[in-house]
Amino acid sequence: MKKRNINGVMFIFLGSIFGSTGGLCTKLIPWHSLSIACARGVICALFLCLVRKQWKMRPTKQTLLCGICYLLTGALFMLANKMTTAANAIVLEFTAPIYVIVIVALYYKMRPKLLDLITAVIVLCGMSLFFIEHLGHGALAGDILALLSGVTCAGIYFFSSLPEADPLEAIYIGCLGNIIWLPMFFVDEGFHGSMFDLKVWAVVLFLAIFQYGMSGILFSKGIRTTSPIVAVIAAAIEPILNPLWVFFVVREAPGPLALCGAAVVILTIAGYNILTTLQQKKVRQETAV
């Protein structure tokens, strides 16, 4: 397991600020979710080619799996963001630490600690508030997709933290993979009605280069010196800023139960990070004595 590095944490934190604009951009683009995912992915792949200064790929198994997780996470989040509120979409995706705990425990054959289990139970209670609010409404499907994006997002944090993985190449693979959604453009009425709108394309370019590209580059730098659990906590600013941008621009606000659920999830996971950090510090001090 990796020791926490302050520079790595800051890279992930800054990348999360760029990433937090995804909900707003998706709301402003009048296309189908998969059309947006395709355009964002292909443009971002071209941008990453310039950064990487090469087109070729030589992925390891871990890099390929991470790339697939990127592809699925992007598509699931785009779909969820159109079907439910931006707050619900990002906060339910932010449940990724719970799945990271499970994956790490299985991979390293470690039994979850009591704190891990308590955190998981509290987060599950917070998640339930989102679903209770949307029972009987179409937004429930969006909540479920957002929850699934949390599972695949956990895969990103885990696989990219393995020494055999190349996080930047994984992002590149995930971006290129979005070309499978290309057929959506032929049946997307929203795209047909705005394909010559320069304002829409400006948002698409920002989404691809800054929200996805720059956030991915910063993440790939940070994850090399940051453990997967600490990394996913460092990204806690994203579920806070994401719905705020949407509220300020398009006046979309989550319901009262969703707000309570968001507070439970974010505060619980933040508290988990603080407690585990203190525990690790105590262990290091005792070992040094």
Q: How confident is the model at residue 181 (pLDDT cuts 50, 70, 90)?
A: very high
Q: Which helix (H) or strand (E) holds 268?
A: helix 256-288
CA neighbor of 203 nearest in space, from 8, 31, 62 = 31
pLDDT of residue 102: 86
* Three-state secondary structure readout of 145-183: HHHHHHHHHHHHHHHHHCCCCCHHHHHHHHHHHHHHHCC
Find all residues with CB under 8 Å of 258, minimum gap 6, and list them.
Answer: 85, 87, 88, 91, 129, 130, 133
Q: How confident is the model at residue 3 (pLDDT cuts 50, 70, 90)?
A: very low
Residue type, 197: D
d(CA 125, CA 159): 27
pTM of the entire predicted model: 0.80
Least confident stretch, 22-31, 155-164, 166-175, 229-238: 229-238
Structure tokens at 180: 């499978």
Structure tokens at 46: 């071209």
* pLDDT over 70 (residue 6): no
**Averaged confidence pLDDT in the chain:** 84
pLDDT of residue 4: 47
d(CA 49, CA 165): 18
Q: How confident is the model at residue 24 (pLDDT cuts 50, 70, 90)?
A: very high
pLDDT of residue 235: 73
Give one word for 113, left, alpha or beta, with left for phi > 0 and alpha for psi -120 to 50. Answer: beta
d(CA 177, CA 67): 8
For range 51-58, the mean pLDDT: 75
Find all residues with CB under 8 Å of 195, minimum gap 6, and list them.
Answer: none
Contacts 24+ apart (CB under 8 A), 99-105: 99/150, 99/151, 99/153, 99/154, 99/155, 100/154, 100/157, 100/158, 100/228, 100/229, 100/232, 101/229, 102/154, 103/154, 103/155, 103/158, 104/158, 104/228, 104/229
For the chain, the maximum distance between any two Cα atoms, rounded to a whole number of angstroms, is: 69
**73-118, pLDDT tens digit by residue?**
999 999 998 988 887 788 788 788 788 888 888 888 877 778 878 8
Structure tokens at 253: 């606000």
- Percent of the chain at pLDDT > 70 equals 90
- Given a contact cutoff of 8 angstroms between Cβ atoms, the answer to whether 234 and 12 are in contact is yes
pLDDT of residue 5: 55
Q: How confident is the model at residue 136 (pLDDT cuts 50, 70, 90)?
A: low
pLDDT of residue 201: 97
* pLDDT over 50 (residue 1): no
pLDDT of residue 177: 95
Q: How confident is the model at residue 288 (pLDDT cuts 50, 70, 90)?
A: low
Which DSSP symbol is given to 196? T
Which has more confidence, 10 or 201?
201
**186-210, pLDDT tens digit by residue?**
999 999 999 999 999 999 999 999 9
- Percent of the chain at pLDDT > 90 equals 35
Q: How confident is the model at residue 72 (pLDDT cuts 50, 70, 90)?
A: very high
**220-268, pLDDT tens digit by residue?**
888 777 776 676 667 777 877 888 898 889 888 777 887 888 788 878 8
Structure tokens at 190: 């929203």
pLDDT of residue 2: 47
